Amino acid sequence: MNAKYQARWVSKQQTDRLKKTGNLQHSLVLESFRGPILIEPAGTNPRNGSVMPLDVADYELRHAWCQGPRAKVEKARQLLGLDVELPS
User: What pLDDT, on a 0 to 100 scale, did the predictor assign at position 21?
Assistant: 85
Q: Where are the domains of the chain?
A: 5-79
Cβ contacts of residue 34 below 8 Å, gap of 6+? 9, 60, 65
User: What pLDDT, on a 0 to 100 scale, did the predictor assign at position 36?
Assistant: 93
User: What pLDDT, on a 0 to 100 scale, did the predictor assign at position 1?
Assistant: 45
User: What pLDDT, on a 0 to 100 scale, did the predictor assign at position 40?
Assistant: 92
For the chain, which residues score pLDDT lower than 50?
1-2
Q: Which helix or strand (DSSP H or E) is residue 14 part of?
A: helix 12-21
pTM equals: 0.85
Q: In the 8-state DSSP scheme, what is residue 51? A: B
